[in-house]
Amino acid sequence: MTQLIWLRSDLRTSDNTALASAMAAGPTVAVYLITPGQWLAHDDAACKVDFWLRNLVELAGRLQALNVPLLIRDVEEWQAAPDALLKLCQELAVQRLHYNGEYGVNEQRRDQAVAARLRAAGIDVRRYLDQLLFAPGSVLTQSGGYFKVFGQFRRACLARLSMSLPACVAPPAPQHPMTVASDVPPDEVRGFDRPSDYLRTLWPAGETFAQHRLAAFIGDDLHQYHQRRDLPAEPGTSQLSAYLAAGVISIRQCLHAAVASNRGELDSGSAGATTWINELLWREFYKHILVGYPRVSMHRAFRAETEALPWRRATDELQAWQEGRTGFPIIDAAMRQLRETGWMHNRLRMVTAMFLSKNLLIDWREGERWFMRHLIDGDLAANNGGWQWSASTGTDSVPYFRLFNPISQSQRFDPDGQFLRRWLPELQGLGKREIHNPSTQRSLFGKADYPAPIIDLGESRARALDAFRNLPDVRP
């Protein structure tokens, strides 16, 4: 029986549950759907789409070594996926479709529509757990609900992982060659500009590179991760998020590498290893939230009462934030890093998000959308979860009265101003004290090449606290 694997956010051949299962069942063909209209509707970044295409090229070579043809089909949106896949199944006499699960509301509806259409035509459909360690709905509170607090979710996951780690899937052996000819992945997709060569060099494609990056991080940086992860000027993070989001590497591979380096321990031993394992579980947590509380996939706040917040429509301030012209160096440097590299340091994601949603009191959804349009590692669950955490509208969110001060955050995590000088060359001449707050150095006529702060921090803090205090059911 001919098998068809539908590739999505799982662009690898190693530890790919659906691929291994398909190839174990019979001669296998792979398909990838190009859906530009859907990607635009989901605010997917041009650099992320380019990253997908480059990884498809690498994946095509690995599939060729397994004698698995890769077919590319173009449809505008996911509504066309059932017809496109049914047509392909009929052309190839496919008996079974395999795919790994995805968890946003639109993704689940798409998969349900595809499964219904194919099963009605007598084609079997198999869905697999691959993107996560645990199936959503399998890690629940004692009352049978989804966890709302990460610490409790983490303890439940660690208890299960301590009994056994989810095994990585054995790599499939090459199958007999098929007569189906492979398609060549496109170089670009309509509606998405090609990113700069500089950005592309920062993110080489392919699971071989992803595995090398994982090995280098585990060997060189893992055990200092807890000390260096908050320092944006240092390469203290794994920078695997883009590869995890596209499925070029699996969470199981990452977890096994971390545990092996930590002598089999999950929650003791190396502080760096346990901290990074916690970060993997944060990604897991936010995926479970998508399923348990689907409203977060639909541009709604997790905490319903915060929908009444009096968000400001401050177009000029929003644009200044987007373009890195706020007059607060750590904010501006982070936003410039995002635009030029397709990535932002995680500490700075929190700082910039809190500045927009609290100091500027601009709807967190504006920031969530902007990040998705620029992040090479853009992921609905992680991006939404992070934004709602920072804005105090989400699950397990920071208390509303906690606001990061961008000046003190800069002084604490970039004390010498090394990161600021990298992205704000106009401030090169300032000392390591003055660079965090250039407004203190202004002459009577100002500093022509760097803007004055667009807000007063004290006044903006008071405004945000008043807005939250006036909501129903909000307590300190």
Residue 418 has pLDDT above 90, yes or no: yes
Residue 339, H or E segment: helix 329-341
Task: List the domain boundaries for the chain.
Answer: 2-129, 132-166+207-292, 304-470
Q: Tell me, yes or no, if 278 is annotated catalytic.
A: no
CA-wise closest residue to 47 among 378, 383, 368: 378
For range 407-418, the mean pLDDT? 98
With 0-12 / 13-18 / 19 or more C-beta atoms within 10 angstroms meaning exposed / middle / buried, residue 384 is buried
Check whether 379 is labelled as a binding-site residue: yes
According to the annotation, is 276 in a ligand binding site? yes
**Mean pLDDT of the 468-476 span:** 76
Say whether 230 counts as a known binding-site residue. Answer: no
The pair of three-digit structure tokens given for residue 350, joined into one six-digit string: 């929190």
Q: Which of 279, 340, 426, 434 is catalytic?
A: 279
From the candidates 364, 370, 389, 423, give the one annotated as an active-site residue: 364
pLDDT confidence tier of residue 214, bands split at 50, 70 and 90: very high
Give the DSSP H/E element, type plus range, for residue 452. none
Of 52, 78, 203, 282, the catalytic one is 282
Q: Does residue 285 have a known ligand-binding role?
A: yes
Sequence length of the chain is 476
Q: Residue 65 burial (CB < 10 Å; 0-12/13-18/19+)? A: exposed
- In CATH, 304-470 is 1.10.579.10: yes
Name which residue leads in pLDDT, 473 or 368.
Answer: 368
Helix, strand or coil, per DSSP, at residue 401: coil
Give the tens place of pLDDT for each residue, 32-47.
999 999 999 999 999 9
Give percent of the chain above pLDDT 90. 95
At 51, is the secondary structure helix, strand, or coil? Answer: helix
Q: Given CATH 3.50.30.40, say whether it is the number of domain 2-129.
A: no
- Catalytic residue flag (residue 346): yes
Using a 10 angstrom Cβ sphere, with 0-12 exposed, 13-18 middle and 19 or more buried, the burial of residue 301 is buried
Q: Sign (positive/negative) of CA torsion 286, 288, 293, 296?
A: positive
Give the three-class secondary structure for 446. coil
- List the structure tokens of 346: 């995680």
Q: Is the pLDDT of residue 464 over 60?
A: yes
**pLDDT value at residue 475:** 55
Q: How far apart, in Å, are the Cα atoms of 430 and each of 267, 406, 441, 454, 457? A: 43, 18, 9, 20, 22
Helices 380-391 and 364-372 cross at an angle (nearest 10°) of 150
Residue among 168, 318, 331 at smallest CA distance from 254: 168
Q: Out of 387, 389, 405, 437, pick the active-site residue.
A: 387
Residues 6+ apart with CB under 8 A from 196: 340
Q: What's the pLDDT tens digit per position in 157-181? A: 999 999 999 999 999 999 999 999 9
Q: CA-based diameter of the chain, in Å?
A: 80
Per-residue pLDDT tens over the stretch 220-273:
999 999 999 999 999 999 999 999 999 999 999 999 999 999 999 999 999 999
Is 268 annotated as belonging to a binding site? no
Q: Is-contact 124 25, C-beta < 8 A?
A: no
Q: How far apart are CA 303 and CA 114, in angstroms?
A: 32
Element spanning 176, H or E: none
Query: What are the structure tokens assigned to 389, written together?
Result: 């955490």
Amino acid at 124: D
Q: Which of 6, 39, 78, 311 is catalytic?
A: 311
CATH number listed for the domain at residues 132-166+207-292: 1.25.40.80
Is residue 52 marked as binding?
Answer: no
When the pLDDT of each residue in the chain is averaged and rounded to a whole number, the result is 96
Question: For residue 396, what pLDDT is reported?
Answer: 84
Residue by residue, DSSP assigns 93-129 as: TEEEEEEE---SHHHHHHHHHHHHHHHHTT-EEEEE-
| Predicted model pTM | 0.96
Which one from 67, 106, 340, 346 is the annotated catalytic residue? 346
Rg (CA), the chain: 23
> Can you give the pLDDT at residue 448?
54
283 is in an annotated binding site: yes
